[in-house]
Amino acid sequence: MTRIGIILGSTRPGRNGEGVARWVHEIASRRTDAEFELVDLLDYKLPHLDEAYPPSMGQYSQPHTLNWASKIASFDGFVMVTPEYNHSTSGALKNAIDFLFAEWNNKAVGFVSYGTVGGARAVEHLRLIAGELMMADVRNQVALSLHTDFENFSVFKPGVHQLDALTATLDQVVAWSTALAPLRTAA
């Protein structure tokens, strides 16, 4: 069965992303076309990139990198839940992405973002990064506004319409992850 990792891309204390990622996981877990797992960056304790060789060489030496690589390699696709910080994604998510290379290749990725403008600029940056990592980013995304999808900018209460956006995003991530399976097998 196709396996999709839902990556919680914020490690900030009091982060809004935890509620968002749990919502994504709860909705996704009702589906029967794939298995979904919530992956919290806090559980991996990744320091700033500390490998001697570029990730594209695949010569990982640090135990935390090997653990992270094993987890990411176990998935066929991803949904990245990202905040928008300073018109981009979080440093923690970017760092976690940068640790690896081949483990991301030929996998689909979708985005659920949040911020004052729905996290749109964070997703723009992540789409560029996905291309470099040979990931297929799907068109649909969920853009959650701190003004309308959160109470007092901190309590997650998504608008009803966001369920349709999430469903469309998950549909595309599962379909593309499945379609890319022959490329992952060949690699």
Tell me which architecture the domain covering 3-186 has in CATH.
3-Layer(aba) Sandwich (3.40)
Task: Please give the torsion angle defined by the CA atoms of residues 7, 53, 137 and 39, in that order, rounded to the nearest 10 degrees.
Answer: -10
**pLDDT tens, N- to C-terminus, the chain (187 residues):** 999 999 999 999 999 999 999 999 999 999 999 999 999 999 999 999 999 999 999 999 999 999 999 999 999 999 999 999 999 999 999 999 999 999 999 999 999 999 999 999 999 999 999 999 999 999 999 999 999 999 999 999 999 999 999 999 999 999 999 999 999 998 7
Q: Give the residue from 9, 69, 58, 60 showing the smallest Cα distance to 38.
A: 9
Distance in angstroms (rounded) separating the CA atoms of residues 9 and 27:
18
Is pTM beyond 0.95 here?
A: yes
Distance in angstroms (rounded) separating the CA atoms of residues 56 and 50:
14
User: What are the distances in angstroms from CA 122 to CA 62, 68, 79?
Assistant: 29, 22, 14
Distance in angstroms (rounded) separating the CA atoms of residues 8 and 123:
14
Distance in angstroms (rounded) separating the CA atoms of residues 118 and 66:
33
Query: Which uninterrupted H or E stretch holds 107?
Result: none
Domain ranges of the chain: 3-186
Distance in angstroms (rounded) separating the CA atoms of residues 142 and 27:
13
Query: Which uninterrupted H or E stretch holds 139?
Result: strand 136-145
Distance in angstroms (rounded) separating the CA atoms of residues 99 and 17:
21
